[in-house]
Amino acid sequence: MANKLHLKITTPEKVIFEGDVDEVLVPGSNGELGILPNHTHILANLKVGELKIKKEGTWDHFAIMGGFVEVGEENNIKILADAAEHAEDIDEAKAMEAKERAESLLKEKREDVKFTEASVMLERSLARIRVAQRKKKYKAKTY
Ligand code: ATP
Q: What is the 3-state secondary structure (H, E, C) of the chain?
A: CCCCEEEEEECCCCEEEEEEECEEEEEECCEEEEECCCCCCEEEEEEEEEEEEEECCEEEEEEEEEEEEEECHHHEEEEEECCEEEHHHCCHHHHHHHHHHHHHHHHCCCCCHHHHHHHHHHHHHHHHHHHHHHHHHHCCCCC
Residues with CB under 6 A from ligand 1: 13, 65, 83, 85, 89-91, 94-95, 98, 121, 124, 128
Pick one of 2.60.40, 1.10.10, 1.20.5, 3.30.2310 as the CATH number of 90-137.
1.20.5
- Using most ligand atoms within 8 A of CB, pick from 82, 94, 99, 128 the residue to mutate for ligand 1: 94
Name the closest-CA residue to atom 24, ligand 1.
95
- What's the whole-number mean pLDDT along residues 79-87? 97
The residues of the chain that CATH labels 2.60.15.10 are: 5-87
pTM: 0.90
- Using most ligand atoms within 8 A of CB, pick from 15, 64, 85, 91 the residue to mutate for ligand 1: 85
CB 96 within 8 A of CB 87: no
Model confidence at 113: pLDDT above 90: no
pLDDT at 139: 57
Higher-pLDDT residue of 13, 139: 13
The residues of the chain that CATH labels 1.20.5 are: 90-137
- What's the whole-number mean pLDDT along residues 68-87? 96
Query: Is CATH 3.10.50.40 the classification given to domain 5-87?
Result: no
